Structure 1
Amino acid sequence: MNEMLSLSTSIRWQDIADIALNSYLLFRLYALFRGTKVFRMLVGVALLWFFQEVTVSLGFIVSSLAIQGIIAVSAFIIIVVFSNEIRSVFRAKNLKAVFWGFPKESNQTPVEIIVESVFEMAQKYCGALIAFPGKKDLQEIVQGGIPWDGLVSKEMIKSIFWYGNPVHDGAIIIQGDRVTEVGVILPLSKRNLPSSYGTRHRAAKGLTEQTDALVVIVSEERGAVLAAKGTRLSVMYSKKDLECELLKHSGRRIKQQGHVKKENFGIGLGTAAVISVLFVTGVWFGITRGLNTLITLEVPVEYINLAPSMEISATSENKVQLHLSGSQLLIKSVRPEDIRVRVDTSEVVVGYNAFTITTENISLPPGILLTKVSPKVLELDIDTLITMAVPVQTDWVGKLDENLILTHAKISPQRIRLMGNTRILGNLPTLYTEKVSLDKLSQSGKITANLAIDPTNLRVAPGSKDQVTIEYQIRKRAEDEFLPD
């Protein structure tokens, strides 16, 4: 009971939103791809991923790597092989159809009406070409179609292919119970076909070789009825043959009693939504609440919002140790740079300040929990920044040649304005340059030297230079100026 209560209190609103978002995305994938070969492949990839996680947890190194490679290859195959099917799913007028709309159940094709119409036209030697699309889109393959959108009826089909109709030489496309286009030009097959096959036969084969459509042909010369699907071109000797072919293509089957039933390759949308939520919730708990692992990381402390007039002169610690816990999968991915420890110094005072490190000061990746901080308290010594002009002096090193004398040296500017805390800057009587070697000087001239400043404690005030110019004069030593040996 205590574990359940602890679990419920540890779940954030972000976790609930995370589960809801991913559940909806998974549900949308099912709603868009159900009944397609892509969906079955995605289910297979999901099962492979599950087994790959199992092999990793059991320590099967070779098996886990092999399954991981199979998953990568499968993803590539889905994209390449089923590109047309994926494109047809996402072919929408706007994003609303992808993220919110549901695929409407198309009205069933009136098989009996089509069968009767086809065989009546065959008896009268009236040529016809009827295409029934499958999952693949035909728009990029066919040409010259005229939008029709008429309800399928025996009279309409026969009138379209009647000799006097201007569009009787083209094909019609039937989707559901509607004739969507007439006068359609189908691509001709490039394969070698028997000489007895006419243009309609070659057009039917050309379309079925490139798509998963079913095409019904009525031969004008022989009055025969044929059905083309894939690489197969079959003669329909009876109405029953054609009826079975149309039912098979539309995913319907005939029960023993003679009733037609739609093949069900999926589950209801309501059930799919529940399964999506349960699945994502299970994955979320497996990742975030799996085998608990502990880790200790040392993270630098960032002091933010310090007033420009103040400076941190000393700190008790610049880094803190964080003891973290989480699932093994998440803990393995955590790096020190992913975690930030920040202390707000906007309300500090001059002198001693103490800060207690809490969860509000620490930014952690999702799913990672803080168990302990060491040290718990940070101490800061705050001082006021002041600006002061300090005299500059050249730091000479080495010695001149014994025949030379340095007679004069002038430094410019003679004072440099520095910024620093009162404790350091107030006890700095003179600022030296970096070391200037006398060994290299042989005649009068000018040199530029940098200032010897510790940037952690002092810095040059705005408007002042961080270099000085030293003008010096050197002359040869007179004989009476030589020191005795």
Structure 2
Amino acid sequence: MNDIWSTIRGMAWSLTHRLGIIDVIDILIVAVIIYELLLLTRHTRGSALLKGLFLLFLIVLLSNILGLTSLNWLLLAVLQNGAIVLVVLFQPELRKALERMGRSRLITKGSHRNADEDTEVIIEEIVQTVVDLSRRRVGALLVFERKTGLQDVVETGTMLNSEISAPLLENIFEPNTPLHDGAVVIRDDRVMAAACILPLAEASGVIRGLGTRHRAAVGITENTDAAVIVVSEQTGIVSFAADGMLKRPFTVEDIKAFLHEFYTSRASGIGSILRRLKKRFTEEKTA
């Protein structure tokens, strides 16, 4: 036991006394790579594989600290000779990563918009959709996925995985079209699926006089942290559901405020943090 604590103290001392600027940069680069891998495999089967790989690394580290020589040798042999196995297991994710790199703005010509501009375009598209549907009294359910995954809800509908645009969303909810009945699930900047089935809330938890669409909006927010924008087919009034509660009417200003909060909270990573700091510095400088 004393040897274990000595090893841990030695590692802690090395981290606090021998850590230089190059080491910090090295750690940050590895952290960004791991973060991008987690984003890439999120909502896929590769997520479980990546968690298993991380657990395997932890077991190797613990076996080395505890002096379990045989187990440590066996696991190291698996890791050292498992590169080809990993390529096979993560083939879909690796292909997706390479495609994403190929579409990068650093390589693709003619694209100069930054992430903030992309977010503003998405927000305008959603706001335009809600306003137009409300004006024409076309019923709609827009479900925004937050931290709680909604893959089980997505699988009840028709998979789209399309970019967000007002024409697409309005066409989905147009009466007498194949996908108009049900909810649309939005994950980040993608329309994941349409015609999704949502669980209904208890009638006592919804304002009297409201129909199935509003009960479904409240129902999905009772068990998840999702947020829902609802357009009434009868009145055209826009409502907002979150945390099992329903707010109505939900004005255009309310919609924009929610969407800004939603996409700001979804944005993370070093790049987005630097962009927000730069934006704040610019605002303070011009004030």
Provide TM-score, normalisation by structure 2: 0.54
TM-superposed deviation, 1:158: 1.1
| Aligned with residue 244 of structure 1, among 250, 257, 271 | 257
In the other structure, the counterpart of 2:144 is: 132
Q: For 1:199 and 1:242, locate their aligned partners in 2 and report how far apart those are by CA, in whole Å.
A: 22
Contact 1:32 1:89 in 2 (8 A): no
Q: How does 1:178-257 map to 2 (within 5 A)?
A: 178-190=190-202, 192=204, 193-251=206-264
Q: For 1:187 and 1:134, locate their aligned partners in 2 and report how far apart those are by CA, in whole Å.
A: 17
In the other structure, the counterpart of 1:353 is: none
TM-superposed deviation, 1:142: 5.6
Q: 1:232 to 1:249 in 2, by over 3 A?
A: farther
TM-superposed deviation, 1:210: 1.1
Contact 1:127 1:219 in 2 (8 A): yes
In the other structure, the counterpart of 1:31 is: 35
TM-superposed deviation, 1:140: 3.0
* One-letter amino acid of the counterpart of residue 180, structure 1: M
Which is greater in Rg? 1
Q: For 2:230 and 2:36, locate their aligned partners in 1 and report how far apart those are by CA, in whole Å.
A: 32
Question: Secondary structure in 2 aligned to 1:250?
Answer: helix
In the other structure, the counterpart of 1:389 is: none
Contact 1:129 1:172 in 2 (8 A): yes
Structure 1 gaps, min length 5: 1-10, 36-86, 253-261, 272-485
Q: For 1:152 and 1:88, locate their aligned partners in 2 and report how far apart those are by CA, in whole Å.
A: 20
CA deviation digits over 1:208-234, x for unaligned, max 9?
Answer: 111111111000011100111113322
Contact 2:140 2:231 in 1 (8 A): yes
TM-superposed deviation, 1:118: 0.8
Contact 1:214 1:249 in 2 (8 A): no
Q: For 1:263 and 1:224, locate their aligned partners in 2 and report how far apart those are by CA, in whole Å.
A: 30
Q: 1:92 to 1:121 in 2, by over 3 A?
A: same
TM-superposed deviation, 1:88: 6.2
Would you say how many aligned residue pairs link Structure 1 and Structure 2? 193
Please tell me whether residue 164 in structure 1 is matched to residue 168 in structure 2: no
* One-letter amino acid of the counterpart of residue 129, structure 1: L
Q: 1:228 to 1:27 in 2, by over 3 A?
A: same
CA RMSD, 1 decimal: 4.4
Q: 1:245 to 1:233 in 2, by over 3 A?
A: same
Q: 1:231 to 1:30 in 2, by over 3 A?
A: farther
Contact 1:236 1:242 in 2 (8 A): no
Q: For 2:267 and 2:161, locate their aligned partners in 1 and report how far apart those are by CA, in whole Å.
A: 26
Q: For 2:155 and 2:35, locate their aligned partners in 1 and report how far apart those are by CA, in whole Å.
A: 30
Q: For 1:187 and 1:231, locate their aligned partners in 2 and report how far apart those are by CA, in whole Å.
A: 12
Q: For 1:235 and 1:187, locate their aligned partners in 2 and report how far apart those are by CA, in whole Å.
A: 20
Q: Relative contact order (C-alpha < 8 Å, sep 6+): which is higher?
A: 2
TM-superposed deviation, 1:27: 3.6
Q: For 2:165 and 2:218, locate their aligned partners in 1 and report how far apart those are by CA, in whole Å.
A: 26
Q: 1:116 to 1:268 in 2, by over 3 A?
A: closer
| Aligned with residue 111 of structure 1, among 88, 110, 123 | 123
Structure 2 gaps, min length 5: 1-9, 55-89, 105-114, 275-287
TM-superposed deviation, 1:250: 2.2
Question: Secondary structure in 2 aligned to 1:228?
Answer: strand
Q: Which has the higher helix share?
A: 2
In the other structure, the counterpart of 1:95 is: 49
Q: 1:140 to 1:215 in 2, by over 3 A?
A: same
CA deviation digits over 1:112-156, x for unaligned, max 9?
Answer: 111111111111110011111001111235652111122222211
Q: For 1:116 and 1:135, locate their aligned partners in 2 and report how far apart those are by CA, in whole Å.
A: 26
Contact 1:116 1:239 in 2 (8 A): no
Question: Secondary structure in 1 aligned to 2:138?
Answer: coil
Between the aligned residues of both structures, percent identity stands at: 30
Contact 2:141 2:228 in 1 (8 A): yes
Provide TM-score, normalisation by structure 1: 0.34
